[in-house]
Amino acid sequence: MSAHPDSAAVGAPAVLAEVKPAVLPRPVLVANNRNYTWITDKICSLIEGPTPTWWWVCFIVAIFVASFTIAGLTYLVGTGVGVWGHRSPVNWAWDIVNFVFWIGIGHAGTLISAILCLLRQKWRTSINRAAEAMTIFAVACAGLFPLFHVGRVWMAWYLFPISNANAIWQNFRSPLEWDVFAVSTYGTVSVCFWYVGLIPDLAVLRDRFTLAGHNLRAWLYGLFAMGWRGSNRHWRNYEMAYLILAGISTPLVLSVHTIVSFDFAVSLLPGWHTTIFPPYFVAGAIFSGFGMVLTLMLPLRAIYHLEDLITQYHIDNICKITLATGTMVGYAYAMEFFIAWYGSNPYEGFAFINRAFGNYAWAYWIMITCNVITPQFFWFKAVRQNTTLVWVLSIFVNVGMWFERFVIIVTSLARDFLPSSWGYYSPSIVEIFTFFGTFGVFSTLFLLFIRFLPIMPMAEIKAVTQQADPHGGGDRH
């Protein structure tokens, strides 16, 4: 038993002699005590091996689904934004719902890579790469909706402060303008973070392809590996940079969804203007993102036999975070309802009664069931250990969070202050196709990712194995 006191030459305090920890081993992060070589081979083999048949099948299906988005958007550009179902008073609907939905999914990726990195949760290493990829692809899908909702998409550069012929500037008082900056910063920083994480692994692939004589592939991976050679002088700066990126990504991910919530909360509309929106949206985003992580990782784990790298412990943790954030979202629902009553504003009170019992009540109760009740199953170990059930529940989470945005956006707009202007919104077929297709866009990108890039950060996984501790943490010493 040795301690590392600040000042040298202090005798060990007497209490140290009594320290005799109870035995409660921590779960191992890489099961079956796999060594470095196994980890490298396992992850690289997914790229080096022949393309599996299932991949082609999925890829073709994904491309087919993605074509719906392309068709929908082409039709929209050719005809006008009126092909979507928005009518006064509901001028924001599926487009913004889908935008917030996809952005929210992206947030789990940043959360896993950044916040869990800062909290030193080492279990993140098995899932962070895929989760970060998910972030980038989700942000890409999210960006499509507001971009095309502006109507004349070729004028989208008006959103950026580039001086134009009218000599007026963007309205920086508008949360929509903040969104432009938030989402583009988020996309850029996520790509940077992802790429920095990839560099050491690209070097691994470069070296393996060089040995195997695949010169073109070695050259391509080598180009992006930047000449990485694992120098410890480099690792020192690299680790610091990675930590800083994690450090800034954490407030970034919070701010992005905060600003998304500002889109609603700075307005005066009952049901939108409430001060808890920022943390509530962030909790919801993390919740939906972790749902999506489960949806994506569980099939991958089964197909690629990654049980040694994504262990039951990983699944347990993701389920628990889903439970925690789902319950936080439940807290926010309750708080909104309570304060709507406590605030005694009749419009606010009506907005909430209308949500629960009005003509969109079906959406509200789907939301409550999926977001508040579904995660409560994760209290039970038996549920968490049943992978199929966890996967099914994760789908419910995804559905529930889509409905949450739908409920917030559409119910408040459809029933605003004047009964004479009330309306009922239904999506048009173009809208439905466009949204449906984004799942194809997302899947296509994700399939390309798992085919061509290492789906797990090899260097980071090796660093959390027991044998990586030079001071004898493992049983080898």
Query: Among residue numbers 361 through 380, which ones bind other proteins (CB under 8 A)?
Result: 379
Tell which one of 74, 343, 424, 426 touches other proteins (CB under 8 A): 343
Q: Does 113 sit near other proteins (CB under 8 A)?
A: no
Binding segment toward other proteins, per CB under 8 A, in 82-90, 104-112, 331-339, 390-398:
331-339
Burial status of residue 297 (CB atoms within 10 A of its CB: 0-12, 13-18, 19 or more): buried
**Residue list 35-94, contact with other proteins (CB under 8 A):** 35-37, 40
Integer CA distances (angstroms), 469 to 2, 387, 473, 474, in order: 16, 32, 5, 7
Residue 65 and residue 438: Cα distance in Å, rounded?
A: 8
| Cα distances (Å, whole numbers) of residue 388 to 108, 143, 315, 382, 391 | 21, 32, 12, 12, 5
Size of the chain in residues: 477
CA neighbor of 256 nearest in space, from 153, 342, 183: 183
Residue 164 interacts with other proteins (CB under 8 A)? no
- Residue 90's φ and ψ, nearest 5 degrees, are -95, 85
One residue of 49, 54, 78, 168 binding other proteins per CB under 8 A: 168
As measured in angstroms, the least distance from the Cβ of 31 to other proteins is 18
- Of 74 and 237, which has the nearer Cβ to other proteins? 237
The DSSP call for residue 229 is: -
Among 118, 155, 373, 429, binds other proteins (CB under 8 A): 118
Should residue 355 be labelled a site residue for other proteins when binding is judged by CB under 8 A? no
Of 57, 155, 429, 468, the one binding other proteins (CB under 8 A) is 468
**Range 280-299, binding other proteins (CB under 8 A):** 280
The single residue among 60, 155, 192, 373 that binds other proteins, judged by CB under 8 A, is 192
Separation of alpha carbons 375 and 164, rounded Å: 50
Using CB under 8 A as the binding rule, whether residue 157 contacts other proteins is answered as no
- The residue (of 62 and 260) whose beta carbon lies closer to other proteins is 260
Cα torsion 248, 371, 132, 265 to 10°: value is -40
Interface with other proteins (CB under 8 A), residue from 18, 49, 157, 305: 18
Q: Which is nearer to other proteins, 69 or 327 (CB)?
A: 327
Q: Which of 165, 211, 216, 382 is in the footprint of other proteins by CB under 8 A?
A: 211
- Closer residue to other proteins in complex, CB, 78/213: 213
Instruction: Establish how many alpha carbons lie within 13 A of residue 10's alpha carbon, considering only the half-sphere containing its beta carbon.
Output: 11
Q: Is the dihedral of CA 118, 123, 124, 129 positive or negative?
A: positive
Gap between the Cα atoms of 213 and 402, Å rounded: 48
Between 362 and 380, whose beta carbon lies closer to other proteins? 380
In degrees, to the nearest 5, what angle opens at C-alpha 293 toward C-alphas 287 and 297? 155
Report 216-275 residues binding other proteins (CB under 8 A). 222-223, 226-241, 244-245, 248, 251-252, 254-255, 258-259, 262, 265-268, 273-275
Nearer to other proteins, 95 or 336 (CB): 336
Q: Check residue 33 for interaction with other proteins (CB under 8 A).
A: no
Binding-site member from 64, 342, 362, 417 for other proteins (CB under 8 A): 342
Binding to other proteins by residue 189, rule CB under 8 A? yes
CB-neighbour burial class of residue 365 (10 A; exposed 0-12, middle 13-18, buried 19+): middle
